[in-house]
A and B are shown apart, each in its own frame.
Chain A
């Protein structure tokens, strides 16, 4: 019988990194040590633990990593709690890739890039950022604004500190919500920080984070003169099938799992306001 999209393959967790008190990053390969499938930046995969459930996660590693995939997962329910309790060597199931990727090879090509993330929203952006770093000469200047509740809630701080911050032509702007001992960086919410930094509009902006952050940051960017056609984001809706059939992620005439999760912000205006 033909292959069935709903039937996953087995994956093995080969590394678990503790990022923050409630986010861990899991490295996944097939039992024979390979990457389960190819993907593009912004695409997602369905991970499951039989008997517990299945959930959708952004593939946070870059497609240029041909050895494995990584997922940064925030603990918030059945599947995610179970994963947080798992050990290296644990098998899970994986299917994908799902969704529309970021247009890294067309609309983004040759552009200055501004990445703006809040909390675990860095997960989908990390894939694009590392893709852009890998093909550095295909893109212009890169700015990254990343904020979280506290210093301890910043995802993948080591990579940010030792790789992104040391790259030429990449400026990283970190912020945390409240003052904290041992933090001499910026304090304040992401949308305000973006306005303070006052970026030129000669770039493409990519936004990801909680819905409220996306809303205010988009408004801030528009105040700076950005047009919605220059701003991309990803949506997060409840998903089950990942292939546009179960109806769960339907908003207007779009299925976020296959028509998204990546949208250009002007495309969002064509959707009813329920995402």
Chain B
């Protein structure tokens, strides 16, 4: 373990930014934290989590997939992919770090999504332990330890110093570049912080929420549950929950005509939208109840069925604070699973 005095932190960030683009949570003019590119003078936010999740770095809201040149009856396909530059995301919370594992299980399985893989290979994740978890946090429900957030390098912030430990080769390589600004240290301060974090986690309002009632074998238990009706009744189908969610990964592919040709791009989509499954001979989910059910069944039943029991939610709490009608996965779990 290495530590960097708080006085040296700016120098440390500057050194990182010399070799790679560095992003970290910064308070915006809206008073909320957003991942922002670091430059001299930029201060890291104290907020617990960013409004938008860190998935944007690997799976951006829109991205160009390829271009076409169309002339008369002929078509030329232009592969616009480029090797992405190295970048560092600093201050990623345990929940968002786990979300990358969930996205990997979609985008890195055969056939590999090369757009995602390219960014994943070039991104270095510096995680941050959560000393002040919030009342909407329930990462522990999914076996995530906010005191051991993971990533390539794990970081613990104390008043006088920041502590770093490399967890991967990539992380080791970055940390070794920071040797002059850090010093080897024992784990006493970090161990104390871990105890504190776990103590605070125990006291969170959602500390007792469990996902035991859910899993890959629960299709028939919940699919026709009467509770879906009241749960989905007020859902606006706005898709906010899917956009802020670090694990939601549905996308659309669209073409855009430019004056030089055609760009094919992909953008986030949402199973909450009424035209998501609309097709020529009808729509297999015509009601908001069906679409609402799909989002939660996917996270709590279908995803675990295909991924050794791992749930498609990381308990980040974003949907709890962002839904305009205050509906969220916790309410769904409590209502269906009966641990209200």
Contacts and interface: CB of A to CB of B under 8 A. Distances in A.
B77 A7 contact: yes
Q: Which 7 A-B pairs have the closest CB atoms?
A: A247-B250, A50-B68, A253-B305, A50-B262, A5-B111, A76-B280, A238-B279
Contact of A240 (B115, B216, B223, B252): B252
Contacts, number: 126
Interface string A158-190: 000000000000000000000000000000000
Contacts of B264: 50
Contact of A6 (B65, B216, B249, B298): B65
A227 B271 CA distance: 34
A93 B77 contact: yes
Contacts of B81: 1, 4
Interface string A72-84: 0010110010000
Nearest to A6: B65
A51 B111 contact: no
B187 interface: no
Nearest to B82: A1
A248 B277 contact: yes
Given A50-B264, A51-B257, A245-B107, A250 B113 contact: no
B77 to A, nearest CB: 6
B111 A252 contact: no
A9 B277 CA distance: 26
A33 interface: no
Contacts of A5: 111, 113
Q: State the majority secondary structure of interface residues on A.
A: loop
Interface of A: 1-10, 48, 50-54, 74, 76-77, 80, 87, 89-93, 210-211, 236-238, 240-241, 243-248, 250-253, 270, 272, 274-275
B255 A272 contact: no
Nearest to B301: A253
11 contacts: A4-B113, A5-B113, A51-B70, A76-B281, A236-B281, A241-B251, A245-B251, A246-B251, A246-B252, A247-B249, A252-B219
A53 B219 contact: no
B114 A2 contact: yes
Contacts of A251: 284
Contact of B250 (A2, A4, A90, A246): A246
B280 A77 contact: yes
Given A2-B114, A246-B250, A253-B305, A237 B219 contact: no
